[in-house]
Amino acid sequence: MITKNTILFFKNSFLGFLLLTLFNLSAQQNQLISGNISDVNSNPIPGVNILEQSNPRNGTVSDFDGNFTISIAPNSTLTFSYVGYETQVVKISTETTLKIILQEDRSSLDEITIVAYGKQKKSSVIAAVTSIDPTELKTASSNLTTALAGRVAGVIAYQRSGEPGRDNAEFFIRGVSTFGYARSPLILIDGIETTSTDLARLQPDDIASFSIMKDATATSLYGARGANGVILVTTKVGKEGVVKVNVRYEKSYSAPTRSLEIADPITYMTLHNEALVTRNALGGRIYSLEKILISKDPNRNKMAYPAVDWFDELLEDYTLNSRFNFNISGGGKIARYYLATTVNTDNGNLKVDPRNNFNNNISFKRISLRSNINVNLTPTTEVALKFNGNFDDYIGPIDGGEATYRKAMQANPVLYPKFYEPDAQFQNSSHVLYGNAGQFGGYLNPYADLMRGYKDESYNNFVATVEVKQDLGFITEGLKARVLANTSRYSFYNLERRYNPFYYSLGNYDFQSDQYTLVALNPNQGTEYLEYNEGNKIITNSTYFEGSISYKKTLNKKHELSGMLIGILRELKYGNAGNLQSSLPYRNIGLSGRFTYGYDDRYFSEFNFGYNGSERFAKSERFGFFPSFGFGWYASNEKFMEPISNTITKLKFKGTYGVVGNDQIGSASDRFFYISQVNLNNGSMGSSFGQEFGTYINGVSIDRYANDQITWEKAKMLNVGVELGLFGVVDIQADYFTEYRSNILMDRAQIPASMGLQAPLRANVGEASSSGFEFTIDYKDSLTDDLFVSARANFSYATSKYEVYEELDYINAGLPWRSRIGLNLSQPFGYIAERLFIDEADIANSPLQTFGDYMAGDIKYKDINNDGVIDINDEVAIGYPTTPEVIYGFGISSSYKKFDLSFFFQGSLNSSFFIDAYNTSPFIDTSGGAIGNNALLSAWANDHWSENDRNLYAAWPRLSDQLIDNNNRDSTWWLRDGSFLRLKSIEFGYSVPDRLASRVNLASARVYITGSNLFTFSKFKLWDVEMGGNGLGYPIQQSANIGVNLNF
Amino acid sequence: MKKILIVFILIFTSCEKDYLDVVPDNIATIELAFNTRSTAENFLSTCYSYIPEHAHVEQNFSMLAGDEVWYYAENDFYMNNETSFRVAKGMQNSSSPYLNYWEGGRGAPNSLFIALRDCNIFLENLVTVPGLEEEERIRWLDEVKVLKAFYHFWLMQMYGPIPIVESNISVSASPAETNVYRASIDEVVTYLTELIDEVIEADNLPGLINYVYTEQGRITMPIAKALKAKILMLSASPIFNGNKDFSSLIDNQRNSLVNQTYDPQKWVLAKDALLEAIESAEANGHSLYQFNQQLPIIGGVNDQIMQELSLRAAITDPFNSETIWGFSADWTGELQQWCQPRWSADHSALFGYTKKSHAPTLNMVETFYTRNGVPIDEDVSWEYGNRFDVVQTPILDANNENYHEFYIENDYATAKLHTFREPRFYSTLGFDGGKWFSLETENINNIPHLNAKAGAPSGKQGFEIYSITGYFAKKLVHYENIIALESSTIKGYSFPIIRLSDLYLMYAEAANETKAAPDADVYEYIQKVRDRAGLDEGSDLVSTWQMHSSNPSKPTTKDGMREIIHQERMIELALEGHRYWDLRRWKLAGEYFSKPIRGWNIFKPDVEGFYEVENIFYRNYLTKDYLWPISQTELLRNPNLIQNPGW
């Protein structure tokens, strides 16, 4: 509803605005000018901005054939501007028709790359920076982070959950290169540090540039914060010219890529009975044969003989989402503006009971407002004001969407229905008679859990930035200064409104009369009214100040010099920190600089440094210096390359080396490593005394021992790369990198428990290395006048290794295979499962397994150290790392006349995950808070060891109604290959012909349909393989989108 | 331009000094704990807080890890018995040991080494505190010394030889310095007795608590002396006195951790310490508990019920005269809910209070004496062979009196096993047909009884919450509890860590071991316990055996007397967790715990079906089970530790 109203509102006001402008125009004595604009090859150029210089509010745009008409005051001057072309200024005297030929702008063709604290000519950049066209990030998801995988070389990304609002992909620049606390990159939006959640909320429509900083020269300016890589995003600003309005609306259908398959209730009962008998011949059945028999009858009394597919009862097959983005930009000589608003609504696919008058389904509304205003105060002073507000409102079930999926898996399908139809006694009951069992009503009824209330969450982030740029050319040519001040205010709360469900169980059922009676299980505990539970509140504010001066000069047209110094101050404070130490401000201070020298557009060099400190370390360890340097050679600009310059249009070699730090070495609550943290009045560490136990005296606890040596992680990074352009249509970039991370904070592993420490001792003793390469190839060509094709592929490989890791002394203990040193940072460990045990004799002749009882049909492990016992010392590294080593993507975009089609594949290689044996164990209780019996996956029902079918390699071992610890071990039995290739997105669009569009006052219009995650190639079939071990959670979504994009 | 640069750099370097100094001076550090009386008292409280919750069936695993009680399930949603029950079922392991009091975890709330470190911090830092008077300061120090000895003792009971934590190793010590050795049993015992002797000689501890409403539960002199006696008793007992099973416990310095020669002198040391403890306790007003209140019951409380309440309230009356060391009430309320059977509609409705699952085993039931004060298989007048027969009450004795009038429901079919037993049988156990006196009882002639057959209020009714044996732990339930819909009361009590009858029986045991044949010294204290239990009326145990036992001279031989003392301990201290430690101490756990766990067929609703003896669980108690395993991880961290035999 909001979306529609907003459209109307803007439409109305925009029309009003247009009318006003028209009225103003007609009031003047004007002359009408028309004309045609083309390039040097006489190709018409549509979309050229035409402005009356003295009256910048008067302007127009050339149409599809390059034609325009404008009404102007006599003797005015017109400017013609278009991106990539030199702006032309024409003084109008008497002529009424113009023929304008725009020249290509050489300097603007030299693309600009956004780098740390500034911009650089792309040709002179020697740092490893990937910039991506923001339109590449448009997907059928409203979460930007899900678009990163496979689109950006050097980013390792994967998504584990599809729950609205919780579906951020995890992403790492050049993989994970530390085993310390923070592995995620620093994210800066318009220079302001922010969270991955804020990045996820960003609209591709609003992004001007998106860059990934990967090596030392790119990140060392961020000093102790840059070691995990940096993502720099800038948002659009207004451009001088006519008002541009862009409206995009999308409606999207969203459904799980793959749903779990559950065995039917009859099979469930049969196999649950088998699980009991097969473990204990005297155990008896849990379900009578009569119950099983009657349950097969579709006409049975479903209250007395329930058979519930909880997934069906809790979940809808699909849901509908919508996305709306509106932005308006323009401006004149003095001021320019870019205003944008986004309203996205993502819904979950959870059911709602019509008898509740509240919505417990996930509804995630995100409103984002952005206002970027640039004002020229004087010809040399520019002020930029940026305001950005993100407002998320989440309503969802009390325990969240993921828990709903998990509970559907955990509840018994045949003990009770989701609710009972009232019997005679409870005919007039005004509440829902939720089903349950036992004497306490302590069984898990996920339907009641879902329907009992809802959670209200709100997240607000408001960012205000003011930036002043001063050109100091009057002191010396090329000198500029800039100051920026920012504040971000963040608030979050959640609360719950819930009732306590009334539970009933079947008292007795008379088969003859088909009458049953119900028993109220918790008549005194249930409530019919909602109760209120206050939840978390988080309030933070941060302030940031940045000042810089820069200088740039070209000497003798050959020597290009530049220098820049930046100082920053940053402070973050928590309003409800919980304890004194956390309440103290988090601060950073830093001074950084960049110095570049280029010779003749052929040789480039660069020196960068960051010198900064953070409050969390002892005085002597507070400041660090992080230098880096690099060299580049633009070989194709050499004389000797000229003969082949049509073939090799670009050839550039570059290399960088430097040191960067990471000061996020403990959780946010790990402050001040150099002082101990104690609680001198701890209510949970005391004792009570006295005849009537009335005197409780609080106690004392130690949460951290002081260590004044602790400091940041240090990363030494090397990058070598080559850029190659062929025939002007193919662009290839390849980079190889190595990184050595030292000073990684870790717990001392060899401190015995007999030391009696309450908190781990920690020190900067860990070291890790990583290396890899990235490769991008771009192809862009107009094959005919009507057919344009571009193709893009990229490939990122990153691997890592523990170099120094304090662990138990496995080498001396004769257990070298338990050591992590030399292995990947996310290398899984586990047992080698050989097969299932054949029989008792097989067990007797095999090494003793020490994980509780086991029988024939349970997993037999390999005795690595040949000591006749299978225990923790037989664990070895198995499989690939859990973080994929390879992420790749490729796709093609093409347009033919007014149609365009693009598709994009994304894949991942070299990763492993464990099937969650505990949570998929059928019949056992994994629900924690209540009593449950896990559902039976069809895969296990169809392929398990049984006494009649002693398949030693069956997918599931011998059934059990109890957790069999022996089988519930990380082992090769549960290890699966995480690699996949999926059609990440496909899009088909049609642009309305401009003539048609202009008739309704549109500059352009496009309708499109998009699909995402439509199909996946993988050997793994139980759930979406990208979810890895989290397969029982909220599934990753596939979606189909229909959208319209209008430009005024 | 240079000027600008310099100004720019100056601004930032001048900011930097103070900008990052965000920590105010008075941040709390551990040293500050000893600057005021109040925080120092908090620290003292923390030193106490590591005492395992004695009424918690995991933390005090001795209640469940042996054969005294059994549960219908482990790891159920409702209960916290998983780890101790798994130990009972023989599932202990060394990769991740249950009840890991060494490292903390798997049912153990903390590593007791943390407790020891805190005790040492307290002992090292409590120097002068403003507002803390010297008298109080030295008392606190001595309390913590006794706690330090107790934590060592707890670890020693579990692991045998342990590292002595005399003082703390610095946090900045190198890994090699942290690799301590396990001290031998004799070294540990010497250290602990010296530590307690320091306290005894200094004589700063109070003999009894004066401020009972604020300080009850704190360490007193009788506690210190009793603990010393228990430590010496453990060192004199077969498990650690020349136990050849532990001959392989030799560390990499060739130190034999358990002595290999039996030393009878250790019993003398234990006996002396026990006498000292008993004298100290009695001098400070401790005595065997006698119930002497009048209760608002129609008909008044008769002698038989008075007798029963003396035995029951000795446990459930908080800090009564018999309690030498009692533990706070934190978990006794919870424990009682697990023990409480049902006999009324209100009980069934308030099922949370009446979870009736803490089930004494038939093994335990058979341990109690007959009415005549001798074992059921020795009593010549008690038909041992027919004990599982069903009999109909009333059953009159030779004097035509109904001995069971206040014990068993009239006109009720029950097992013969339940008839003509000693008073402690009826005060300790609830059973099918057994009466259960409490303040819910309105009339002495109408005491409610239990029905434990399937479907009956105290029997198995659903999938969960039932007694797997058909018995209930009456001893652990306060007679003042009232469970009724309008208002329920569950009275917490101080769970006894050490009580006087424990000391009396240990004395008899130690004395017997020091002599060639038992004499009056041996009989003196065990007789007090039997007298309070209503046995040997007007006579003594020697005559009792002569009159009633098929082995009449048993009390006159050292071996016979040893058996009598053992059984007396198992009866008197039943369900309090002592049997588990005692059987290990006597090296008899292998014999007892390898017997099947038995109970009635509680799945049956009828008399005939119910009174069939069922074997619930078979367990093989191995030599390695006498000592706890040290986790493999800890052994890897510290190569100087050696694993206990068999793990």
| Chain-centre distance for alpha carbon B72 | 22
Report yes or no: A931 and A925 within 8 Å, Cβ to Cβ.
Answer: yes
Following DSSP, what letter does each residue of A855-879 receive, concatenated?
-TTSEEE--TT-SSEESGGG-EE-S
Contact yes or no for A438 and B27 at CB 8 A = no
Count CB neighbours of B395 within 10 A: 14
B580 CA: distance to closest CA in chain A (Å): 23
Radius of gyration of chain B (CA): 27
Residue where the block lists tokens 């190639």: A1017
Instruction: Tell me the pLDDT band of B75, cut-offs 50, 70 and 90.
Output: low
Contact (CB, 8 A) for B517 and B557: yes
Type of residue numbered A165: G
Minimal-distance CA residue of chain B relative to A564: B5
- Whether B1 shows a pLDDT value over 60: the answer reads no
Distance CA B399, CA B210 (A): 50
**In this predicted structure, what is the pLDDT of residue A99?**
85
> Which chain A residue's Cα is nearest to B465?
A439
Mean pLDDT taken over chain A? 89
pLDDT of residue B202: 96
Q: Which of A545, A755, A820 to mutate to test the interface with B (most CBs of B within 10 A)?
A: A755
How far away is chain B from the Cα of A423, in angstroms, using its nearest Cα? 21
Residue B77 has pLDDT above 70, yes or no: no
Q: In the predicted model, is pLDDT for residue B79 greater than 70?
A: no
- Between residues 349 and 408 of chain B, which touch chain A (CB distance below 8 Å)? 351-352
Through-space distance between the first and last CA atoms of chain B, rounded to whole angstroms: 77
Chain B residue with CA closest to A705: the answer is B171
Residue A822 scores a pLDDT above 90? yes
Which value, to the nearest 10 degrees, does the dihedral of the CA atoms of residues B272, B275, B280, B286 take? 150
* Interface contact B212-A690, CB threshold 8 A: yes
Q: For residue B148, is pLDDT > 90?
A: yes
Q: Do A565 and B5 touch (CB under 8 A)?
A: yes
Per-residue pLDDT at A105: 66
CB nearest to A699's CB, from B45, B95, B634:
B45
| Selected residue with higher pLDDT from A360 and B472 | B472
**A664 CA to chain B: closest CA distance, Å?**
16
Residue of chain B with shortest Cα separation from A700: B43
Determine the pLDDT at residue B456: 94
Q: What is the pLDDT of residues B314-370, one digit of tens each?
A: 999 999 999 999 998 789 999 999 999 999 999 988 888 999 999 999 999 999 999
Closest partner residue to A808 (CB to CB) among B78, B465, B633 is B633
User: Can the peptide bond before residue B394 be classed as cis, meaning omega within 30 degrees of 0?
Assistant: yes
B293 to chain A, any CB pair closer than 8 A? The answer is no
Quote the pLDDT of residue A134: 85
pLDDT at A109: 46
Report the percent of chain B where pLDDT is more than 90. 85
Nearest beta carbon to residue B1 from set A475, A587, A809: A475
Q: How confident is the model at residue A671 (pLDDT cuts 50, 70, 90)?
A: confident
Q: Which residue of B has its CA nearest to A849?
A: B93
Does residue B15 surpass a pLDDT of 90? no
Q: pLDDT tens-digit profile of A201-220?
A: 888 889 999 999 999 999 99
What pLDDT shows up at residue A7?
41
Task: Select from B19, B39, B330 the Cβ nearest to the Cβ of A680.
Answer: B39
B-chain residues near A749 (CB < 8 A): 637
CA-CA distance, B375 to B386, in Å (whole number)? 15
Residues linked to residue A989 through DSSP beta bridges, in sequence order = A900, A1008
Lowest mean pLDDT among A506-520, A728-742, B258-272, B516-530: A506-520
Please determine, for residue A724, whether its predicted confidence score (pLDDT) is greater than 90. yes
Q: Inspect the interface and report whether the beta carbons of B632 and A850 lie closer than 8 Å.
A: no
> Each residue of A28-51: pLDDT tens digit?
467 888 888 888 777 778 778 888
Say if the Cβ atoms of B215 and A690 lie within 8 Å. yes
Stretch B64-84: mean pLDDT: 84
The predicted structure's pLDDT at residue A498: 92
Residue B453 has pLDDT above 60, yes or no: yes
Q: Please report residues of A whose CB lies closer than 8 A to that of B116.
A: 756
Q: Which two tokens stand for residue B377?
A: 């298989």
Report the C-alpha gap between B11 and B13 in whole angstroms. Answer: 6
**pLDDT number for residue A3:** 41
Residue A114 clears pLDDT 70, i.e. is over it: yes
Residue contact A750–B48, C-beta within 8 A: no
Runs of H (alpha helix) within B220-264 = 221-236
Whether B130 and chain A come into contact, CB under 8 Å, resolves to: no
User: Span A892-907, mean pLDDT?
Assistant: 93
With CB atoms and an 8 Å threshold, state whether B77 touches A675: no
% of chain A at pLDDT higher than 70:
96
Phi, psi of A127 (to 5 degrees): -75, 160
Beta-strand runs (E) in A92-240 = 97-102, 112-115, 118-121, 129-132, 155-158, 170-173, 186-189, 192-194, 207-213, 230-235
Q: Does B176 touch chain A (CB under 8 A)?
A: no
Strand locations in B378-430 (E)? 390-392, 413-415, 429-430
* Interval A414-437 mean pLDDT: 91
A811 in reach of chain B (CB within 8 A): no
A1012-1027 pLDDT, tens digit per residue, is 999 999 999 999 999 9
ipTM over 0.90: yes
Chain A (677-696) residues lying within 8 Å, Cβ to Cβ, of chain B: 677-682, 685-695
Res A707: pLDDT? 85
Both tokens of A796, joined, read 């990122």
Assign A185 a pLDDT band (cuts: 50, 70, 90): very high
Residues 6+ apart with CB under 8 A from A246: A205, A325, A326, A327, A328, A1045, A1046, A1047, A1048
Q: With an 8 Å Cβ cutoff, are A752 and B639 in contact?
A: no
Report the sign of the C-alpha dihedral through residues A24, A26, A28, A32, in that order. positive
The DSSP bridge partners found for residue A544 are: A486, A570
**pTM to 2 decimal places:** 0.83
Report pLDDT for A681. 92
Helix axes B520-532, B500-514, angle to 10 degrees: 150
Say if residues A349 and A383 touch (Cβ distance below 8 Å). Answer: no
Q: What was the pLDDT predicted at B78?
A: 62
- B634 interfaces chain A, CB cutoff of 8 Å: yes
